[in-house]
């Protein structure tokens, strides 16, 4: 015989369902990226990064605008890592304080016991700390890539630079995904229903944003493009004149 319904049961049902939706979608995204990378925006962007590294290595080091491009990404990663660290500090201070009853209102339809509230804050804290570490690793990889790309009088293997660039982009993408998960945990503070709704909405948006419908373009080299145009002009000039 089932007991009477209590609002705490919603956390038992909706919180695991929300996590299953989020992790299930990202497992599906990882499968698509590993098996069919051209169908994901991550694979499309990594393809463009590889081509970008190849073209940058074809010009002189003093003429490369690579550092400014890498610096912009590093600035974004540094800003996000700083924000994650500040939020982690705030949550840690909140956990250490004695007054944590601000989110125990009767307006929240769900569990409001002190242990559940502590779990919510710890989950948020872990997400922000993991995001902070991911963005720090992004900066580390991009700094190493800039060193390799601007190394004078050295024949640096292109694969080493590509590896650092792709690894940095993967860390950046992972940090962003952790922040997406932190958003759902943040809404869990206001109850399991907002968390479930945010998970479904976010996965619906990510399904559209993570899908790539653009065909991978194999960018021709500048010299190759000019030579093809020259050959086309010469072929046109050698054609016999038509009758007037």
Residue 235 lies in a domain: no
**Half-sphere exposure of residue 152, counting CA atoms within 13 Å on the CB side?**
2
Write out the two tokens for 159: 């694969």
Check: CB of residue 214 under 8 Å from CB of residue 44: yes
Determine the Cα–Cα distance for residues 49 and 73; give it in Å rounded to an integer.
Answer: 12
The structure's pTM equals 0.81
Determine the Cα–Cα distance for residues 183 and 124; give it in Å rounded to an integer.
Answer: 9
Range in 29-33, 148-152, 231-235 the model is least confident about: 231-235
Kindly report, residue by residue over 55-89, the tens digit of the pLDDT: 877 766 555 666 677 778 888 888 888 888 888 87
- Region 91-111: mean pLDDT is 64
Determine the Cα–Cα distance for residues 7 and 1; give it in Å rounded to an integer.
Answer: 18
Residue 119 lies in a domain: yes
Determine the Cα–Cα distance for residues 87 and 125; give it in Å rounded to an integer.
Answer: 8
- Region 194-206: mean pLDDT is 94
Residue 223 lies in a domain: no
Residue 30 lies in a domain: yes
Check: CB of residue 212 under 8 Å from CB of residue 44: yes
Residue 237 lies in a domain: no
- Region 21-27: mean pLDDT is 96
| The pLDDT of residue 96 | 63
Mean residue pLDDT across the chain: 81
- Region 99-111: mean pLDDT is 62
36 CB-near residues (< 8 Å, 6+ apart): 43
| The pLDDT of residue 171 | 95
Kindly report, residue by residue over 123-161, the tens digit of the pLDDT: 998 999 999 999 999 999 998 988 888 777 777 788 888
Write out the two tokens for 99: 């007054």
State what percent of residues in the chain have pLDDT above 90: 36
Determine the Cα–Cα distance for residues 166 and 130; give it in Å rounded to an integer.
Answer: 19
120 CB-near residues (< 8 Å, 6+ apart): 185, 188, 189
Residue 183 lies in a domain: yes
| Structural domains counted in the chain | 1
- Region 165-188: mean pLDDT is 93
Range of the domain at 64: 9-218
Q: Pick the closest to residue 112 from 169, 192, 221 (CA basis).
A: 192
- The answer, yes or no, to whether residue 233 has pLDDT greater than 50, is no
Better pLDDT: 234 or 94: 94
Residue 214 lies in a domain: yes
The SS3 assignment for 211 reads strand
State the first-to-last Cα distance of the chain, in angstroms, to the nearest integer: 100
Residue 225 lies in a domain: no
């Amino acid at each position: 015989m089932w007991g009477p319904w209590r609002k705490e049961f919603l956390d038992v049902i909706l919180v695991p369902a929300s996590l299953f939706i989020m992790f299930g979608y990202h497992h599906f995204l990882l499968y698509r990226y590993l098996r069919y990378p051209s169908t994901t925006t991550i694979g499309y962007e990594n393809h463009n990064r590889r081509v970008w590294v190849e073209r940058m290595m074809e010009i002189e080091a003093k003429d490369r605008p690579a550092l400014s491009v890498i610096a912009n990404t590093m600035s974004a990663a540094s800003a996000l890592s700083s924000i994650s660290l500040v939020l982690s500090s705030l949550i840690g201070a909140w956990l250490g304080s004695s007054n944590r009853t601000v989110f125990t209102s009767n307006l929240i339809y769900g569990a409001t016991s002190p242990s559940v509230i502590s779990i919510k804050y710890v989950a948020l804290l872990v997400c922000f700390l993991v995001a902070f570490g991911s963005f720090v690793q992004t900066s580390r990889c991009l700094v190493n890539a800039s060193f390799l790309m601007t190394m004078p009088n050295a024949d640096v293997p292109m694969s080493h630079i590509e590896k650092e660039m792709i690894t940095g982009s993967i860390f950046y993408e992972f940090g962003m995904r952790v922040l997406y998960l932190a958003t759902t945990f943040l809404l869990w503070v206001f109850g399991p229903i907002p968390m479930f709704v945010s998970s479904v909405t976010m996965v619906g948006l990510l399904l559209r944003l993570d899908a790539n419908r653009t065909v991978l373009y194999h960018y021709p080299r500048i010299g190759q493009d000019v030579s093809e145009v020259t050959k086309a002009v010469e072929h046109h000039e050698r054609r016999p004149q038509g009758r007037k």
